[in-house]
Amino acid sequence: MSEGLAPWLLVAGLGAFHGLNPAMGWLFAVALGLHRGSGRVVAWALLPIALGHALAIAAAVAAFLLAGAVLELAVLRRVAGVLLLAWAFWVVRRGHPRRVRVGMTTGAAGLVLWSFTMASAHGAGLMLLPALVPICFSGGVVPQLATTSGRALLVVLLHSAAMLAVTAALAFLVYRVVGVAILRSAWLNLDLLWALALSATGLWLLLG
């Protein structure tokens, strides 16, 4: 596998992983569709949910790049690694972060806010940091702003597209084929898996 391709595959893979997590939005889209009795509502809800997730990812990416402009890369990696490990510990101790209360009558703006808050609270953007280092930092330094911004935008778009694809597939699979009743017997708690992913990312930054 090309070393230049691997970070991009990681970005897409993490997008798919985030899409699998019901806390990132597919379960809420299904709930809205069932509440309003329309599959079109499921499809409509996916777009603002994906937008909110993308904005949360973009905020994390922007913060990391801005920090990289003032900190040495080695220091930045260690700070980010410690932050990720602390976030993983929080997930294990407290479980899912407290959810923003958005009702079944919410509109697009409410869904964007809900998705942005959930992705931020779960540290979704922080998981992308190992991929951002080789993509946006060439030779341990930050390249020209225009180049960095362009690459960062591609990261956000690729990640969000993968997340939306998986979220949409799961939402319609549950809504039209499986049904929510199966969730009572086949529910998978992703808290531990999420914490492991955060921990692995943090260790990679600290030891890599």
How many domains in the chain? 1
CB 136 within 8 A of CB 148: yes
Q: How confident is the model at residue 2 (pLDDT cuts 50, 70, 90)?
A: very low
What is the domain range of residue 45? 6-207
Given a cut of 80, is residue 99 above it in pLDDT? Answer: no
Report how far Cα 120 is from the mean position of its chain's Cα atoms.
Answer: 8
- Could you give the count of Cα atoms lying within 13 Å of 126 in the half-sphere of its Cβ? 29
- pLDDT given at position 103: 65
pLDDT tens-digit series, residues 157-176: 999 999 999 999 999 998 88
Q: What is the largest CA-CA distance in the chain?
A: 54
What's the pLDDT at 74?
Answer: 82
Residue range 28-42, pLDDT digits in tens: 899 899 888 888 999
Query: C-alpha dihedral over 150, 154, 155, 158, to 10 degrees?
Result: 180
Indicate the range of 8-17, 57-66, 178-187, 196-205 predicted with least confidence.
Answer: 178-187
Angle (CA) 85-61-49 rounded to 5° is 95
User: Who wins on pLDDT, 166 or 204?
Assistant: 166
Assess if residue 175 is contained within a domain. yes
Q: What is the pLDDT of residue 153?
A: 92
Q: What is the pLDDT of residue 146?
A: 58
Average pLDDT over residues 92-112: 71
Among left, alpha and beta (phi > 0; psi -120 to 50; other), residue 174 is alpha
- Separation between Cα atoms, residue 109 and residue 170, nearest integer Å: 23
Residue 1 is assigned to a structural domain of this protein: no
Mean pLDDT for all residues in the chain: 83
